[in-house]
Structure 1
Amino acid sequence: MTDSKNDTPDNAVTEIEAAVFRRLLKHLDERKDAQNIDLMNLAGFCRNCLSKWYVAEAEARGVQVDYDAARERVYGEPYADWKAKYQQEATAEQLEKFKESHKH
């Protein structure tokens, strides 16, 4: 079977998408200065969202993945370790922007 948009075989599409996901994780790992609240304010998702999506997609395929294990996959280390090393306190401005963008 192929991807109807460009006749790329489905397995190649899956491999490409997996490679893009790994590249995104690598990029986020290299940009620890990009705080989760900044990602949420700018893009509407963060590293924790990716972790939750990972768990949900695994469960949709009948695979149980622990949230902490998914976070470690996304963060590249246990979340508590990453948080202690890299997470900064959110500023009042960041928090206000977050509240405004999540008023639904």
Structure 2
Amino acid sequence: MTEISAEQRVALEAAAFRRLVEHLRKRSDVQNIDLMNLAGFCRNCLSNWYREAAEVSGIAMSKEESREVIYGMAYEEWRSRHQTDASAEQKAAFERSRPKE
């Protein structure tokens, strides 16, 4: 593997993150429950991870603020524009695959 500096690694990771967020914004047809069922995370998880990283860095951020970073708009606006009701099959798949505490 090519040697890269810590600064380059952070820049590459940030670029990949931005591309992932942009991809998720464009693919509003893909529901969060589908992401959870397939990959074990969704846009809300990503926004939580973003907020947690901000807090570790000493940056206060609300849940709503971090969701707006990921969704590109207020969460409630995104929900009203794009979210559909989960089917019985999607809900059942979620119950089977969700992490057990």
Relative to the length of structure 1, the TM-score reads 0.91
Distance in 1 of aligned mates of 2:56 and 2:78: 28
Unaligned stretches of 5+ residues in structure 2:
none
2:6 maps to 10
1:27 maps to 23
Relative to the length of structure 2, the TM-score reads 0.94
Distance in 2 of aligned mates of 1:57 and 1:12: 19
Distance in 2 of aligned mates of 1:51 and 1:91: 24
User: Deviation at 1:23?
Assistant: 0.1
1:53 aligns with 2:52: no
1:93 aligns with 2:95: no
Q: How many residues align?
A: 100
1:63 maps to 59
Amino acid at match of 2:22: K
User: Deviation at 1:93?
Assistant: 0.1
Runs of 4+ in 1 over 6 A off after TM superposition: none
Task: Using CA pairs under 8 Å that are at least 6 residues apart, name the structure with larger relative contact order, 1 or 2.
Answer: 2
Distance in 2 of aligned mates of 1:102 and 1:48: 14
What is the aligned-residue identity percentage? 46
